[in-house]
Amino acid sequence: MEKHIGVIGGDQRILILAESLADKGFDVLLWATDKSKVFNSPNINFAETLDEVIEKSKVLIGPIPLTQDGKYIFAPLSQQSVEIQSLIEKLSCRDILLIASVIPESVKNLCREKNVKFFDLYEKEELAILNAIPTVEGCLMIAIEKMPITLHSSNILILGYGRIGKVLAKVLRGFEANIYVASRKSSDLTWCKAFGFLPVRLCDVAEYVNKMDLIINTIPAGVVTKEVIDRIRTDTLVIDLASKPGGVDFEYAREKGIEVVHALSLPGKVAPVTAAKYISEVLLSLLEEIWG
CA distance linking residue 253 with residue 248, whole number of Å: 8
Class of domain 4-123: alpha beta
> Which residue ranges does the chain devote to CATH 3.40.50.720?
4-123, 127-268
**pLDDT for the residue numbered 179:** 98
**Helices 105-113 & 84-91 angle (0-180, nearest 10):** 30
pTM given for the model: 0.84
Select from 193, 189, 190 the least CA-distant residue to 205: 189
Any residues with CB less than 8 A from the CB of 292 and at least 6 apart, and which?
none
In tens, the pLDDT along 222-253 reads 999 999 999 999 999 999 999 888 999 999 99
CA distance linking residue 253 with residue 224, whole number of Å: 9
State which CATH number among 3.90.226.10, 3.40.50.720, 3.90.180.10, 3.30.230.10 fits the domain covering 127-268. Answer: 3.40.50.720
CA distance linking residue 19 with residue 275, whole number of Å: 14
**pLDDT for the residue numbered 1:** 42
**pLDDT for the residue numbered 158:** 98
CA distance linking residue 57 with residue 42, whole number of Å: 16
Is the previous residue joined to 148 through a cis bond, with omega within 30 degrees of 0? no
Q: What is the mean pLDDT of each run of 10 residues along the chain (292 residues)?
A: 84 91 93 90 94 94 91 93 95 93 93 95 88 96 98 98 97 97 97 97 97 97 97 98 94 97 92 91 85 65
Select from 93, 67, 95 the least CA-distant residue to 81: 67
Polymer length of the chain: 292
- DSSP, residue by residue, the chain: ---EEEEES--HHHHHHHHHHHHTT-EEEEESS-TT---S-TTEEE-SSHHHHHHH-SEEE--SSSBSSSSBB--TT-S---BHHHHHHHHTTS--EEEESS--HHHHHHHHHTT--EEEGGGSHHHHHHHHHHHHHHHHHHHHHH-SS-STT-EEEEE--SHHHHHHHHHHHTTT-EEEEEES-HHHHHHHHHTT-EEEEGGGGGGTGGG-SEEEE--SSS-B-HHHHTTS-TT-EEEE-SPTT-SB-HHHHHHTT-EEEE--SHHHHH-HHHHHHHHHHHHHHHHHHHH-
**pLDDT for the residue numbered 202:** 97
**pLDDT for the residue numbered 35:** 87
